[in-house]
Structure 1
Amino acid sequence: MKHNLGKRSLHLFFLLLSFLTLHAEDFTYTFKVDQPTPYVKEPVILTLDLNQTNHDVVMLFSFDIKKSEDYTFQRLDIRKTENYHDAKIHYVYLIYPLRSGELDITFDLIKKVTTDESLAYSFSGDRDNVKKLVTKDTQIDLPPVQLRVKPLPEGTLLVGDFTLSYEIKKHQAKAYEPLPFQVSIKGKGYPPLVGTLLPKEGNFTRFTEKPIVKSVATKEGTHSTVTYPMALSHSQSFSLSPIRLNAFDPKSEKKYTLDIPSQQFDIEQVESRHLVDTVDAPDIASEDWSWLSTLLGYTITFFAGYMTALSWRWSMKKRQKENHPLVQKIRNCKDEKSLLQVLIAADHSDFTSSIEKLEDSLYGNGKINFNKVKQDALEKRI
């Protein structure tokens, strides 16, 4: 009976950790995590809401998660209410814990307080005499969000829900001729990057390239396709041992494997008389690098198609933007203050990063390249 009560208390404790609203001077902050007891490399969505409670001052915030070897993180979204007396900010982060046990997610938050007079003063003057916004900055010590991270089954290489496909163009070749071999791992979870896929067994020659990674992070986790281009060669027939990757899906808490069966390659022997070089000055460069063109062929074809589609989408998007009335307004901006006012008036989340840079330059200590920020704003989706 006592044991059951202990389990219930522990469950209630972590449930409370998943949604925590606290009060600080002048504002409140609310942390929420969707998974307070994840497995190692299981995605965790953390949200933070900052809400100003002292409406007598103008308040700004600077926030981010502190870097650590215990986890990786990526900001997915930030939404602001642009009201200087009623600041409301919503942050969304994707976090992957990298070790088991008790793990603290720590934060860096600075509260910046100023007045309407100081704000108006900073907007006065011409573009050659930008006046800095004076703020009173306070470092806020936020309590860490604690995760209780569960270990993975022993031998796990991939964490998530993945599928594997492979392609071997041919199983017959001449001696030392490269045999292209491509493996793709696709699915949702921690990006499926492994050191090497080829087994250590076998005395054949291995050629490998850097994996081709396509990943998109969302609130549901990271969707990835990782392609491994490789090639094998040998002077005689050989076999490739089976390849097995141990995987674990934390959502279903089930182990599974991704497998490539054993492969047999038949190599045509070269007679010894053909191995005798009768040329005094042979061109060895083409021989040494001929395998590379074969191996890279698949990569080049992939990127050619990808770039063509990307170019078409870019041209369509550019034509749409050229016809948008906001484009001309942004182009007419000659300084940081006018651009900031246009972007705030647009009230579009795509301009959040540009607004932050401009505010930091005008009211903080940040330095920016105005033309670059302006160009970035033009390129945003409208």
Structure 2
Amino acid sequence: MKKNLGKILLFLIFPFVLSANTDLATYSLVSNKKNVYIKEAVEITFTAVQKDHTDEMFFFLEPKKSDSYAIQLLDKDTKKISYHNQTTTFKYLLFPLKEGDIDIDFDFTIKAASDDAVAQIYMGGRNNVKWIETTDTNVKIKPIRLHVKPLKEDVDLVGDFAITSKIHSTNVNSYGSANIKYYLSGTGYDDKKFTPIKSIEGVTIFSEAADEHLKSTKEGYEIKREFSYALVGKKDFKIPSIQIKVYSPKQNRYYTLSTKEYDIKVSAIDPKTLLDDKEYPEGKSYDFSTLKEITIALLIFFAGFMTAKVTPNIQFKKSLKKEKFKDIKDAKTPKELILVLLQNYKNRSIEAYINELERLEYKESDKNFKEIKTEILKKIM
């Protein structure tokens, strides 16, 4: 049993006694950068090593919320060194959002449990698990201070990015739409406010965005995002070349991304010529692609109208689901899925699933990983 004590599930711990400072462990808190620009990626590493080997020990670290930065857990790794001796490492991805000196502060808690308390969870069957009684110690740690420099120029993005575009056709009729897609890829700060097209005079714009890939790394977010637009106009219009200003902290340079310009030709069409009295196409040479284009345009128009009226600041429901739940579907291990849930779905009442995944990770559960994932998706959809 002692060999497996390092695998005690976190959800089986509850506070027993809150005490003041104590010399239970050594720790270090470091960042890979101290002088940074706004929205430049910073990796913060916290390592705790058990010093007092009397009891089993568990380490908890929680960053304090602040408008000065955005922070997200990258990884948590606990290693069992020997009996009553373990080390835990937390890695965080942080983006400073304000210039000047900012402090990154954390709440550090040490939970200690005696062998007798730990042994209680092994009493009885699976449905009679005991909770562990722990002695909790809140340790005051010195925050990390970063000096954040302002950017010398106004930019749209921070990082290393590329953008391309693809248009279906530059010739449409007055009942159709010009359908264009932009593909943003690269690594850096994930600015949700960025959009390739904001407005075009005389043109109604419907849009949606979907992430093909979004992953947090110590260099920033790896992003592959698709922006889809349906543009409807009654006369010829131009999709301008988009100039996107970017700063790369990695290369320490400012640069501009440019997209292609498109001239859209809009041809008038008489609705009476589309269908005759018998609702058949007029003439043998009628092009069914025209009717298909009109149908698609109307569907896009309706979807865009409903989105604009009902949820003006939210993407289409379909794309939102794809964006939010793709990370769950892509998770390949219980540990990876736990991180995804903690990072992106804290407010979805998924504690029970995290508990089950922890049990599965430590081979204390006979449930199937795919079944748990399916249950989670049903719960949050």
Look up the match of 1:47.
45
Question: How far apart are the structure 2 equivalents of 1:91 and 1:375?
Answer: 21
More strand by share: 2
Deviates more, 1:140-149 or 1:75-84: 75-84
Alignment partner, residue 174 of structure 2: 175
C-alpha separation between the residues in 1 aligned to 2:244 and 2:254? 11
Give the C-alpha shift of residue 190 in structure 1.
Answer: 1.2
- 1:148 deviates by 1.0
1 CA distance for matches of 2:216 and 2:247?
A: 19
TM-score (norm. length: structure 2): 0.67
Q: Look up the equivalent residue of 1:207 and give its one-letter code.
A: F
Which ranges in structure 1 are unaligned for 5 or more consecutive residues? 1-22, 280-285, 318-347, 358-365
Letter in 1 for 2:149: K
Q: Trace 1:365-376 onto structure 2 (pairs within 5 A).
A: none
Give the secondary-structure state (helix, strand or coil) at the position aligned to 1:134.
strand
Contact 2:154 2:245 in 1 (8 A): yes
Call closer, same or farther: CA 1:375–1:294 in 2, change over 3 Å.
Answer: farther
State the 1:274 CA deviation: 6.8
Against the structure 1 CA distance between its residues 213 and 148, is the aligned structure 2 distance closer, same or farther, given a 3 Å change threshold?
farther
Aligned-pair distance for 1:160? 0.5
- The alpha-carbon distance between structure 1 residues 40 and 103, as it changes in their structure 2 partners (threshold 3 A), is same
SS in 1 for 2:132: coil
Contact 2:44 2:91 in 1 (8 A): yes
SS in 2 for 1:120: helix
**Which whole-Å deviations, capped at 9, do the CAs of 1:226-246 have from their partners, x for residues lacking one?**
110001121111222331111
Contact map agreement 2:163 2:183 (CA 8 A) in 1: yes
Distance 1:183 1:127, change over 3 A: closer
* 2:296 partner letter: S
Match of 2:163 in 1: 164
Question: Structure 1 residues 149, 92: CA separation in 2 closer, same or farther (over 3 Å shift)?
Answer: same
- Counterpart position of 2:33: 35
Q: Which amino acid aligns with 1:269?
A: A
Q: Is the CA contact 1:79–1:352 (under 8 Å) kept in the aligned structure 2?
A: no
Tell me if structure 1 keeps the 8 A contact 2:334–2:358. no
| 8 Å CA contact retained: 2:50, 2:57 | yes
The separation in 1 between residues aligned to 2:170 and 2:206, in whole angstroms, is 16
State whether residues 335 and 358 of structure 2, in contact with CA within 8 Å, keep that contact through their aligned partners in structure 1.
Answer: no
Q: Determine the structure 2 residue equivalent to 1:139.
A: 138
1:25 counterpart SS class: coil
Task: Provide the secondary structure at the position in 2 that maps to 1:258.
Answer: strand
SS at match of 1:38: strand
Superimposed CA distance per residue, residues 330-354 of structure 1 (whole angstroms, 9 cap, x where no aligned partner): xxxxxxxxxxxxxxxxxx9949959
What code does the residue aligned with 1:53 have? Answer: K
Structure 1 residues 124 and 176: alpha-carbon distance in aligned structure 2, compared to 1, 3 A threshold = same
In structure 2, what is the equivalent of residue 107 of structure 1? 106
1:379 aligns with 2:369: yes
Residues 48-96 of structure 1: CA deviation (Å, up to 9, x unaligned): 1101112223322222222333222222222212345212111111111
Report the RMSD for the aligned CA atoms in angstroms: 4.0
CA contact (8 A) 2:179 2:229 kept: yes
Q: Which residue of 2 aligns with 1:249?
A: 248
Cα pair distance change 1:227/1:353, threshold 3 Å: closer
> Counterpart in 1 of 2:285?
none
| Equivalent-residue separation in structure 1 for 2:29 and 2:83 (angstroms) | 22
Q: Tell me what 2:297 maps to.
A: 291
Partner of 1:85: 84
- Kindly state the Cα deviation for residue 177 of structure 1 after the two structures are TM-superposed: 1.1
- Counterpart mapping for 1:117-156 below 5 A: 117-156=116-155
What is the CA distance between 1:120 and its match in structure 2?
A: 2.6
Give the SS at the match of 2:117: helix
Partner of 2:196: 197
Structure 2 Cα separation of the partners of residues 25 and 264 of structure 1: 71
**Identity, % of aligned positions:** 26
Does the CA-based 8 Å contact 2:209-2:225 persist in structure 1? no
- Measured at CA, do residues 196 and 224 of structure 1 come closer, stay the same or move farther in structure 2, by a change above 3 Å? closer
* Unaligned runs of at least 5 residues, structure 2: 1-20, 279-291, 304-315, 343-350, 371-381
Q: Within 5 Å, which residues of 2 pair with 1:346-365?
A: 350=335
Distance 1:175 1:27, change over 3 A: same
Matched residue of 1:87: which SS? strand
**2:16 paired residue number:** none
Higher relative contact order (CA 8 A, sep 6+): 2
The alpha-carbon distance between structure 1 residues 166 and 57, as it changes in their structure 2 partners (threshold 3 A), is same
CA distance in 1, matches of 2:225, 2:355: 37
1:111, distance to aligned residue in structure 2 (A): 1.2
- TM-score, scaled relative to structure 1: 0.67
**In the alignment, residue 219 of structure 2 is paired with which amino acid?**
E
> Residue 118 of structure 2: SS of its match in structure 1?
helix
Letter in 2 for 1:29: Y
Distance 2:131 2:255 in 1: 58
- Aligned match of 1:267: 266
